[in-house]
Structure 1
Amino acid sequence: MGHFGFSYIGLIFLLMLFIPNIIWTKKMPEGYTAEGENRILALCERMGEVLVCCCALMFSDFNLQGWTAWTGWLAAAIALMILYEIWWIRYFCSERKLKDFYSGILHIPLAGATLPVMAFFLLGIYGRVIWMLIAVLVLGIGHIGIHLQHYRNLNQSMR
C-alpha cells in the first residue's frame, strides 16, 4: 500500500519533469493551442498530475532500498526519465514546430507524453505503491489522450 514519508527519488523525478516543462512555456511550438481539448481527458490529466505529484513525494517506498530484484524497475524508470530529458534537449534544439513537439524517440511515439507516464508507472511498480499506479493510469489516460488528439489534428491539417 505504501509507507508515508518523503521520497527524494520522487522529488528528483518531479524536477526532471517540471524543469523542461517550465522552459517549454517560453519555447512553445509555433501554433500550439490547448483549444478544443476533450474536457474529460483534460480532467483526467489534471487529476492525474496532482495525484502523481502527491504520491511521488509522500511515499518513501520510492527511495533506494538497497540492491534487490526490484531495483531493476527503478533503473528502468530512471532510464526512461533520462530518455525524456534527451527528447526535451532534441526538441529545444529543433525548429520547435508542432511536429517536433509531438515526435517520438527510439520508436516510442509521442515521447513527450508517453515517457514520463511510463517512468512514473515503473516507479510505482518499484515502490509497490498501488496509489501511484492508479494515479499514473488516470494521468496517462488524460495526458497521452490529449497528445494523441493534438497529433491526429496536426496530421489531418497537414493533408
Structure 2
Amino acid sequence: MNFGFSYITLIFLIMLFVPNIIWAKNKPEDYDDYSKDENRTLTMIERIGQVLIICCLFFADDIIFTPWILMLILAFIFMILYELYWIKYFRSPKTMKDMYSSFLGIPVAGATLPVLAFLFLGIYKMNLFLIFAALVLAIGHIGIHLDYARRLK
C-alpha cells in the first residue's frame, strides 16, 4: 500500500455518489418513516465504513496488469450492476418496495452491490485497509437495508 491518489477508487466513488445524489431528490415516499427508526448501532457502523472507504482514495496502488486483474473486473461488474439497479429504481414508481427489491436475485442490491465492489477492489489492490473498510460498511449498510426490507413485509 502506497500513499497517493487512486484513479480507480475515484471512479468507484463517482459511480457510488452520482446515483445517491440523484436519489436524494427521488426518495421513496415513506423513506423518512423508516429511517427515523434506524438501528443506531448499525448507522454508526455504516458511517464509519463510509468514511474508511473514502479514506482509501488516498492509497494508490493502481497497477492494472496484475494476476489479480479478475478481481478488478469483478469489482467493475458489481459497480455496473449497481448503476443498473439505480436505473431500474429511477424508472419505477419509487416506492419503498422498489427501493428494497432484489435485482438479478441479489437481495437489497442498492446496499449489497457497492459493498461487494469495494471488497473486490480491496482484494485486487491487496489493500487490507480497503477490505476492512468494505467489511465494516457491509455490516452497517447491508444490515440497515435488510431491516428496511424486513419491515416492508
Superposition TM-score, scaled by structure 1 size: 0.93
Tell me how far 1:92 sits from its aligned partner. Answer: 0.2
Q: Which amino acid aligns with 2:96?
A: L
Q: Deviations over 1:15-74 (max 9, x none)?
A: 00000000000000111121111111000000000001111x11112x2x2423210000
Tell me, in whole angstroms, the C-alpha distance in 2 between the residues paired with 1:37 and 1:94.
Answer: 24
Tell me, in whole angstroms, the C-alpha distance in 2 between the residues paired with 1:68 and 1:37.
Answer: 41
Instruction: Specify the alignment match of 2:24 in structure 1.
Output: 25
Q: Which amino acid aligns with 2:95?
A: K
Unaligned runs of 5+ in 2: none
Unaligned runs of 5+ in 1: none
1:147 equivalent among 145, 149, 153? 145
Tell me, in whole angstroms, the C-alpha distance in 1 between the residues paired with 2:51 and 2:110.
Answer: 18
Instruction: Specify the alignment match of 1:76 in structure 2.
Output: 74
Identity, % of aligned pairs?
56
Q: Quote the RMSD (CA, aligned, Å).
A: 0.8
Tell me, in whole angstroms, the C-alpha distance in 2 between the residues paired with 1:147 and 1:94.
Answer: 18
Instruction: Specify the alignment match of 1:60 in structure 2.
Output: 60
Instruction: Specify the alignment match of 1:42 in structure 2.
Output: 43
Count of residue pairs brought into register by the alignment: 151
Instruction: Specify the alignment match of 2:14 in structure 1.
Output: 15
Decide whether aligned partners of structure 1 residues 9 and 66 sit closer, same or farther in structure 2, where only a CA change above 3 A counts: closer
Decide whether aligned partners of structure 1 residues 66 and 134 sit closer, same or farther in structure 2, where only a CA change above 3 A counts: closer
- Structure 1 segments, 4+ long, off by >6 Å, are none
Tell me, in whole angstroms, the C-alpha distance in 1 between the residues paired with 2:94 and 2:64.
Answer: 41
Tell me, in whole angstroms, the C-alpha distance in 1 between the residues paired with 2:64 and 2:25.
Answer: 40
Q: Which amino acid aligns with 1:59?
A: F
Tell me, in whole angstroms, the C-alpha distance in 2 between the residues paired with 1:46 and 1:68.
Answer: 32
